[in-house]
Amino acid sequence: MKEFKYVITDPEGIHARPAGMLVKAVKEFACDIKIAKGGKAMNCKAIFGVMGLAAKKGDEVTLTFDGADEDAAYEAISKFMQENL
């Protein structure tokens, strides 16, 4: 299992548009990907789960990757977060 923490830098946080982009990006991988904030973990492949975290600018989220392609997913989603959130 791989994991990384990321502090949201987008002024509007994870709102609908970037949440949709994130879900689309993680669905390219077969491994389980979770996003968590404040002890609450959600399936990162479900837009309502991602938006349900209500992550704002300055919030720290933790993404975990578990499965066959976790290394590729970790690299791609780490890059996605830095470029978009």
Q: What is the mean pLDDT of residues 33-41?
A: 94
Sign of the CA dihedral running 54, 55, 60, 63: positive
Which residues are part of the catalytic machinery?
A: 15
Contact predicate 59/5, CB 8 Å: no
Q: How far is the C-alpha of 27 from the C-alpha of 37, rounded, in Å?
A: 20
Q: Given this model, what pLDDT does residue 23 score?
A: 95
Tens-place pLDDT, residues 45-80: 999 999 999 999 999 999 999 999 999 999 999 999
Q: Given this model, what pLDDT does residue 33 score?
A: 96
Q: pTM of the full predicted structure? A: 0.88
Angle between helices 16-26 and 70-84 (to 10 degrees): 160
